[in-house]
Amino acid sequence: MIQFNNVGKTWDDGSCALKSISLSVPKGQFCVVLGPSGAGKSTLLRTINGLCIPSIGHIMIDGDTLSQKNQQRLRQRVAMVHQHFNLSLRLSVSANVLTGVLAQTSLWRSLLGWFSPSHRQKACLLLEKVGLKPRHLQRRASELSGGQQQRVGIARAFMSDPEIVLADEPVASLDPKISRDILQLIKDTASERNTTVLCSLHQIDLAREFADRLIGMRDGVIVFDGTPAEFTDEMLQKLYAGAHWDDEATSNNQNDLEESTRNNITHLAQQVAA
């Protein structure tokens, strides 16, 4: 169970990303966070793995309050799937997956690339699980397509048997077909292990399809919390009314953002404006 207790975040420049968020996410839930650009979705996710320290309030994971003291230990229970995959492109696919257990490997072993046979076997099993073939294992990550790279990112995230996976726009730079496959993969892998997932998304159709629960955010506040069935078109309009989709497109790396994703955003903007 993840608990946010009146969590707020104000940046040094005075801008407020989160305003007194209180939220409980039960174990094993696939929770999708929606909202316009700048709503605070990434900040919310990053407070869980300590990448962002709340200005006020606190976060508890299974009853343990996140603090600077125990942050390193609790971080090992949390893994992340990134929008731009964050792989080491010069390293092989298997080496990238093995970096998922760096925190559990001694420094000298990891420097020498000496991972235990059980970790190597686990990496192979996970790569098979995410749909990669043995021939991919020794390829450089740079030689894979975007969808394949995200599969490696998912295998890496699950290497440490995390209790929580944070997926920050995991399909923002993938086409719609691959996006669906990737979300299905995250959902299946998580549900087999009873892993809690917090996933920020911009694709409303995918959010409705995959989420157990939808959290709608705007200006650092939760404005919707319910099931996909409860998230009506009226709610959708309210959540995104006045959102600056152009800002969203320019804040992403344009090279990585595929045409289809832009079409998705345009389509959604039209849907909202209608």
Minimal distance in Å, beta carbon 217 to ligand ADP?
Answer: 7
Place of tokens 């990112």: 153
Q: Taking the complex as a whole, how short is the minimal distance between the CB of residue 32 and ligand ADP, in angstroms?
A: 13
From candidates 2, 7, 17, 159, binder to ligand ADP by CB under 6 A: 17
CB of 4 to ligand ADP, least distance (A): 14
Provide the pairing of β-strand 2-10 with 56-61: antiparallel
β-strands 213-218, 164-168 pairing: unpaired
In the complex, the smallest distance separating the C-beta of residue 240 from ligand ADP, rounded to whole angstroms, is 12
The whole-angstrom separation of Cα 33 and Cα 15 is 21
Dihedral pair phi/psi, residue 56, rounded to 5°: -140, 165
What is the three-class DSSP state of 9?
A: strand
Phi, psi of 212 (to 5 degrees): -80, -30
Using CB under 6 A, count the residues that bind ligand ADP. 12
Residues 22-41 that bind ligand ADP (CB under 6 A): 35, 37-41
**Of 163 and 248, which CB lies nearer to ligand ADP in the complex structure?**
248
Q: Of 196-215, which residues contact ligand ADP (CB under 6 A)?
A: none
- Binders of ligand ADP among residues 100 to 129 (CB under 6 A) are none
| Residue 42 CB, nearest approach to ligand ADP (Å) | 3
Query: Residue 258 and residue 269: Cα distance in Å, rounded?
Result: 17
Q: Distances in Å between the alpha carbon of 216 and those of 50, 120, 129?
A: 22, 39, 31
Check: CB of residue 239 under 8 Å from CB of residue 39.
no
Interface pick for ligand ADP out of 29, 43, 150, 196 (rule CB under 6 A): 43
Site membership for ligand ADP, residue 96 (CB under 6 A): no
- Minimum Å distance from CB 216 to ligand ADP? 11
Residue 160 binds ligand ADP, judged by CB under 6 A: no
Work out the end-to-end distance of the chain between its first and last CA atoms, rounded to an integer number of angstroms: 39
Point out which residues bind ligand ADP (CB under 6 A). Answer: 11, 13, 15, 17, 35, 37-43
